[in-house]
Structure 1
Amino acid sequence: MNFRSLEDFWAFYMSQHSKPSTRRWHFVGTLFSIIFFLCSLLFSWWFLVFAPLSGYGCAWYSHFFVEGNVPATFGHPFWSLLCDYKMFGLMLTGGMDREIKRLGKKPVLQVF
């Protein structure tokens, strides 16, 4: 599947993250990856090993066992990473329900 813009990919990305628990797993994984990255800057570069392991581990778990699909990272790694941080920011600021409405999906309760 070829996408012409990040906005086109974003709509696809959100369709692959339709369940609230999938998005929560992504949030946790992204949060841990940020924490491990910061720890690598402050303490030891060894923490950097855990950044992608925690981020992708949580995300891929949610795709295989919660959402029941293949992670978009496999086909579009760069755009998936950008959209993951976009989703993280929307969840952090409480804008995820508004974005789901904008894309024409049913809003869900946010835990974060």
Structure 2
Amino acid sequence: MSTQQPAGGRFQTFSAFYPYYVHEHSNRTCRRIHVVGTALVIVIFITALVTRNGWWLLGMPLVGYGFAWVGHFFFEKNRPATFKYPLWSLMGDWRLFFETVSGRRRF
């Protein structure tokens, strides 16, 4: 599987996109920041459910993207794939998170 974007085109499947996504998260600190941000998104969601206060939900994208973009701009030094592949990047974030917490990918 290639870790580069297709020449002049877009990825056709998530399976083709994911190796590129992982490559764009080569920096260990960037990956860690992503995992922490995603965990905090889960905490915010649970807080919104428990408190029955929907205002908490506004914090989910702020925390999720905020942590991810800090990882990319300051540690990975690349442009987040979210700008070109928003849905697949979100799917990649969750896959990376679950691979990490399940021990299939190093934290």
TM-score by length of 1: 0.84
Structure 1 runs not aligned, ≥5 long? 98-109
Tell whether 2:72 aligns with 1:58.
no
Question: Which of 31, 46, 49 is matched with 2:55 structurally?
Answer: 46
Q: Which string of whole-angstrom CA distances, capped at 9 and with x for unpartnered residues, describes residues 23-72 of structure 1?
A: 00000110111111111122111111111111110000000000000000
Q: Quote the RMSD (CA, aligned, Å).
A: 1.0
TM-score by length of 2: 0.88
Tell whether 2:34 aligns with 1:26.
yes
- Name the residue aligned to 1:35: 43
Q: Distance in 2 between matches of 1:84 and 1:3?
A: 17
Structure 2 runs not aligned, ≥5 long? 1-8
AA matched with 1:88: F
Q: Distance in 1 between matches of 2:16 and 2:25?
A: 15
Greater mean deviation of Cα atoms: 13-22 or 33-42: 33-42
